[in-house]
Amino acid sequence: MKSHIVSAIETHKIIAILRGIPAEKLIQTAEALIRGGIRLLEITYDASAKISDEETANSIRTLADHFKGKLLIGAGTVMTTEQVRLTAESGGCFIISPNTDREIIKACNDFGLVSIPGALTPSEIADAHKAGADFVKLFPVTTMGPAYVKAIKAPLSHVKLLAVGGINQENMTEYLSAGVCGFGIGSDITDKTLIRNNDWDAIAQKAKAYAEVIRNG
């Protein structure tokens, strides 16, 4: 199971980040993303606790059940092992964090979920990999640029890196060339104004434009 998820992330490369999307619009948003060619979705936990962890887990369950076989659903902004447990029980298959926390990486492995902690420096990246991470989320990547990624990959070529933070259609190819194997992309695909206006065709077109960069790159 876990190897299948790792392979899917390496193949499809784009994880669309859904942050603060109303529960009643999740399915329509996901359907639009599928039409555009997206196959990986991240539902983020709310660090401010305005949205409870249980509500987020219910959103993950809704999408995982509804789109079984069409989408792989994971959780983002995961800061506790309890959130890992909730995600696993809700049908999520990967865990993304803004930081590297060995307890969370261990919990991912215990539950059979793909682990994607966040890191930036060579020491942080190496530590995350050593702790058992399947990928490392290089975040915030555009503060450093493609040259930094290329420099990181020279000694750490064995670590699978995902680029997150400021990624868009114009710079994706540069980061792929520098050595990343995928991306987390948020508001530029999952535009909240378009979602609020139920403009699902526009969401699908945005997703399609990103997916085409991957196909052509």
**Which residue in the list 25, 54, 137, 170 is annotated as catalytic?**
137
Contacts of 83 by beta carbon, 8 Å cutoff, 6+ apart: 45, 53, 56, 75, 95
The pLDDT value recorded for residue 200 is 98
CA 90/CA 82 separation, integer angstroms: 12
Supply 89's token pair: 């029980």
Residue 33, CB-side half-sphere exposure with 13 Å CA sphere: 31
Are 159 and 181 in contact, with CB atoms under 8 Å apart?
no
- When pLDDT is averaged across residues 16-35 and rounded to a whole number, the result is 96
Alpha-carbon distances, residue 198 vs 31, 32, 145, 202 (angstroms):
12, 10, 34, 9
The whole-angstrom separation of Cα 74 and Cα 198 is 24
For the chain, the domains span: 2-216
CATH of domain 2-216: 3.20.20.70
For this structure, is 42 an active site residue?
A: yes
pLDDT tens-place string over residues 153-212? 999 999 999 999 999 999 999 999 999 999 999 998 999 999 999 999 999 999 999 999
Q: How do residues 55-94 score in pLDDT, each as one tens digit?
A: 999 999 999 999 999 999 999 999 999 999 999 999 999 9
What value, to the nearest 5°, has the Cα angle with vertex 160 and ends 128 and 47?
A: 55
Catalytic residue among 42, 153, 208, 212: 42
Q: Measured between alpha carbons, how far is 74 from 112 in angstroms, rounded to an integer?
A: 12
Which residues, at least 6 apart from 69, have a Cβ–Cβ distance to it below 8 Å?
none
Confidence check: pLDDT of 141 > 90 = yes
DSSP label at residue 121: S
Strands ordered across the beta sheet of 118-119: 114-116, 94-96, 72-76, 40-44, 14-18, 182-185, 161-164, 136-138, 118-119
**Band (1; pLDDT cuts 50, 70, 90):** confident
- How large is the average pLDDT for residues 42-60? 96
Q: Is 130 among the catalytic positions?
A: no
Instruction: Check residue 216 and give its pLDDT.
Output: 86
Angle between helices 26-36 and 200-216 (to 10 degrees): 40
Distance CA 161, CA 182 (A): 7
